[in-house]
Structure 1
Amino acid sequence: MHNVLISFLLLLAYSFSAQAQTFQPELEVQPHSKGVFVHISYQLYGGTPFPSNGLIVVGDTSVLLIDTPWDSLQSEQLVQWVANEIKKPIGYCVVTHSHADRTAGYQVMQRHGIPLVFSQETAALSQAQGRRLQGIAHERDTTLAMAGLNAEIFFPGRGHTADNQVVWLPAQQLLFGGCLVKSKEATSMGNVADADLAAWPTTIRQLYTKYPRLRYVVPGHQQWGDIQLLMHTLELLKKHTP
């Protein structure tokens, strides 16, 4: 029996190892609303591919990216997709916080001459994690105005991280909540290693006040939706906060 158990464990370990070695993530792009696409990248989580969302926002003459994909390969795929399908240059890439699911493709962006836009706090936290962002560092809140496109970058308070920002697209009434906002599929708060659970509910309520005309919400992971995602996030916080 002992030998059978050892054999089973070795087989299980080999299976996970083989899966990790053969996993080749492929970027997905899905249309969302007028002039907006969601780019979806993947990494293994618990042995299963798990999605991470970012945005492609198309202006009159250029494109705005919200967050990089989860690795360099998928970030390169994103740049090539925009070149092939949109056929407009990428003006900026906004980074909403310092974790790898937002910043892993920073070197790809820099190699293609795409300026990163990030808060000073995100720059400091990224550098502490080994990623030196280069581009435009701002205090906390700013607006990017491009031809046919406006994007408001806002820090609503601590939550998922100390530096988590959101991006508001007024033309589409779309809020990119990033990892501050949980999807309907989420049953936990996910990665809370750098979270401020006590402040998180107040931060979410700030979004209600700031964006009364909100129509769409795109979370950092899994399926997007509407204002109900903010309520769902608050409900999860009630369940998972001591």
Structure 2
Amino acid sequence: MKKVFSLVTLIGTFAFGQIKPIQIDSINSHLYVYQTFNSFQGIDYNANGMFLITDKGIVLFDVPWQKSQYQTMNDLVLEKYHLPVIAVFVTHSHEDRAGDLSFYNDLNIPTYASSFTNSILKKEGKATSKFEIELGKTYRFGKEKFVIEYFGQGHTADNLVVWFPKYKVLNGGCLIKGADAKNLGYIGEANVTEWPKTVQKLVTKHPKINQVIPGHDNWKANGHIENTFKLLEK
């Protein structure tokens, strides 16, 4: 998601006030959701990222919304779990997903994005990832594994999802709206015609999902995919 509502087009440029601390919640002992925030006119908006704890280190899925929290996040997980961030995978090109990958590249932390996302980042004059995601490949870090998948256009043309087969958890990114969302948010780069078809392909591929993590809003609620379909019908 690039902007939460059309009203909030200046988030990141005119955000002010103290940044809300990173919030971490566990799905299980290996898989976690972390929330970062951006504010506009005193209102906080959240972005849901994830990380996976492996015996090799921590794999981060999407970067903190605020660049000033990149190092904070690295320090936080090192202090809390005694493991460093060893890889960063991003699910699309926006600020709350890919952000500025040069930070991680400069630290020699392997970064991964799709070739499509990298082409967008390059066009916008932003840092690209060091490695390209192999869509459909099962990535393994120690005893943990996950698959990065692309089902089609939706919130953006390049939006990916992450499937954790061991736990049947889906990181839907901004392709999936939160159960409490009232609208589709920023659709300046969306394909609303293809979006429901894309989500249907996802559901067909993964008919049994234990937990869905949407890109924004309250991830602990139920009905994220159902509400996404509902919003797309409007």
For normalisation by structure 1, the TM-score amounts to: 0.85
The sequence identity of aligned pairs, in percent, is 29
Amino acid aligned to 2:44: P
Alpha-carbon shift at residue 226 of structure 1 (Å): 7.3
Other structure's SS at 2:196 match: helix
Match of 1:63 among 58, 72, 81: 58
Structure 2: where are the runs of 5+ without partners?
A: 1-13
Q: Structure 1's 227 and 202: CA in aligned 2 closer, same or farther, altered over 3 A?
A: farther
Alignment pair present for 1:137 and 2:132: yes
Other structure's SS at 2:155 match: coil
Which structure has the greater CA radius of gyration? Answer: 1
Alignment pair present for 1:231 and 2:229: no
Higher relative contact order (CA 8 A, sep 6+): 2
Note the 1:23-38 alignment, pairs <5 A: 23-38=18-33
Give the Cα–Cα distance (whole angstroms) in 2 for the partners of residues 105 and 132 of structure 1. Answer: 6
What does the per-residue CA deviation read over 1:162-211, in whole Å, with 9 as the maximum and x for residues that have no partner? 00000001111100000000001200000101000000001111111111
Amino acid aligned to 1:101: D
Alpha-carbon shift at residue 227 of structure 1 (Å): 7.0
What does the per-residue CA deviation read over 1:71-103, in whole Å, with 9 as the maximum and x for residues that have no partner? 211111111111111112322111000011101
Task: Specify the alignment match of 1:101 in structure 2.
Answer: 96
Point out the more displaced range, 159-168 or 24-33.
Answer: 24-33
Contact kept? 1:37, 1:56, Cα under 8 Å: yes
Give the 4+ runs in structure 1 shifted more than 6 A: none
Q: Structure 1's 81 and 166: CA in aligned 2 closer, same or farther, altered over 3 A?
A: same
Other structure's SS at 2:96 match: helix
Aligned-residue RMSD, C-alpha? 1.8
What does the per-residue CA deviation read over 1:26-62, in whole Å, with 9 as the maximum and x for residues that have no partner? 2221222231111111112454110001001111222
Amino acid aligned to 1:221: H
Alignment pair present for 1:200 and 2:195: yes
Alignment pair present for 1:167 and 2:162: yes
Other structure's SS at 2:192 match: coil
Task: Specify the alignment match of 1:147 in structure 2.
Answer: 142
Task: Specify the alignment match of 1:158 in structure 2.
Answer: 153
Alignment pair present for 1:180 and 2:175: yes
Q: Structure 1's 28 and 164: CA in aligned 2 closer, same or farther, altered over 3 A?
A: same
Match of 1:72 among 67, 81, 99: 67
Point out the more displaced range, 23-32 or 53-62.
Answer: 23-32
Other structure's SS at 1:222 match: coil
Task: Specify the alignment match of 1:113 in structure 2.
Answer: 108
Task: Specify the alignment match of 2:205 in structure 1.
Answer: 210
Give the Cα–Cα distance (whole angstroms) in 1 for the partners of residues 33 and 138 of structure 2. Answer: 20
Give the Cα–Cα distance (whole angstroms) in 1 for the partners of residues 155 and 77 of structure 2. Answer: 29
Number of equivalenced pairs? 221
Q: Structure 1's 185 and 228: CA in aligned 2 closer, same or farther, altered over 3 A?
A: closer
Other structure's SS at 1:103 match: coil
Contact kept? 2:49, 2:62, Cα under 8 Å: yes
Other structure's SS at 1:33 match: coil
For normalisation by structure 2, the TM-score amounts to: 0.88
Give the Cα–Cα distance (whole angstroms) in 1 for the partners of residues 196 and 228 of structure 2. Answer: 8
Contact kept? 1:40, 1:54, Cα under 8 Å: yes
Alpha-carbon shift at residue 225 of structure 1 (Å): 4.3
Alpha-carbon shift at residue 151 of structure 1 (Å): 0.9
Contact kept? 2:159, 2:175, Cα under 8 Å: yes
Point out the more displaced range, 147-156 or 227-236.
Answer: 227-236
Contact kept? 1:27, 1:40, Cα under 8 Å: yes
